[in-house]
Chain A
Amino acid sequence: MSTETQLFEASVDALEPIRDFVTEKSIAAGADNKKNYMLCLAIDEIATNIMRYGYPRAGISDGVINVSITTGNGSLTVVLEDSAMPFNPLEQSVPTEEDMSKPLEERPIGGLGIMLAKQSVDEYKYEFIGNKNRNIFIINI
């Protein structure tokens, strides 16, 4: 098992550098392009929530997101750690089947990102430990 960690500013300008970091490690670990893309999508959705809502609602303007990537034993685990308000994405409502079949202009747009995050990786978990949110994404390689 090996773990690498990088710290990013909690700004949407960091979304692309986070994707680059994840892509470099996941492709090196043997993920194919599709697995890597879906992993990046899941991370992007949760990181955006932290940047756009988590830190601003906590009144923190210089927040950071710690991204650690662990590979080994046939899987890759990405952990996003932040010090914003406790926020468990798994407790948020996501679009229902009925919402999904509505015309585009009538669809509720909330919850789409969280739905994508949950569906795009093999396992997605959330923990609040030591006053930190930990969003955990696991893909099998």
Chain B
Amino acid sequence: MSFSITSEVTDGIAKLTLAGSLDSSSASQMQAEIQKVAEQAPTELVLYTKELSFMSSAGLRMLVFAKQKLGTAVQIYIVEPQAQIVDTLQMTGIIHSVHVVDTYPA
């Protein structure tokens, strides 16, 4: 499924909604959205991923990029990821650096 992403920043919280497949062909779209929201210096980054069906290491690199771009104090929330995406976060240890949640705000 092709990738789509939308973003908004409200009250200092950047919200990105992702759908489809996040791989090396689509990661640049996510990078562009992260750069866009970074201009507003958000304090939290929330990724809505219920409709995200696939994520390769190109997507993981975007999480690293987000931390570097937005600052290490910015917490990353991943909302409703599919089980296999959680598996990937676990296999790479990245799950310890993000918050996987069912809803945001909790």
Segment of B8-16, B30-38, B94-102 engaged in the interface with chain A: B94-102
Q: How far does the alpha carbon of A33 sit from the alpha carbon of B83 in the complex, in Å?
A: 10
Q: How far does the alpha carbon of A14 sit from the alpha carbon of B24 in the complex, in Å?
A: 10
Asked if B50 is an interface residue, CB under 8 A from chain A, the answer is: no
Q: How far does the alpha carbon of A12 sit from the alpha carbon of B48 in the complex, in Å?
A: 25
Within 8 A of A (CB), among B47-106: 54, 56-58, 60-61, 63-64, 67-68, 72, 76, 83-84, 87-88, 91-94, 96-98
Tell me, rounded to whole Å, the shortest Cβ–Cβ distance linking B31 to chain A: 13
Q: Classify the secondary structure of A's interface with B.
A: helix
Q: A34 to B57, Cβ gap below 8 A?
A: no
Q: A52 to B24, Cβ gap below 8 A?
A: yes
Tell me, rounded to whole Å, the shortest Cβ–Cβ distance linking B51 to chain A: 15
Known contacts A15-B25, A104-B64, A104-B94, A45 near B57 by CB under 8 Å: yes
Q: How far does the alpha carbon of A71 sit from the alpha carbon of B92 in the complex, in Å?
A: 30
Known contacts A41-B88, A101-B93, A105-B72, A112 near B57 by CB under 8 Å: yes
Hey, which chain A residues are within 8 Å of B40, CB to CB? none
Complex A-B, nearest 9 residue pairs according to Cβ-Cβ distance, in ascending order: A100-B93, A104-B97, A12-B25, A113-B57, A105-B67, A37-B84, A112-B57, A104-B67, A48-B24
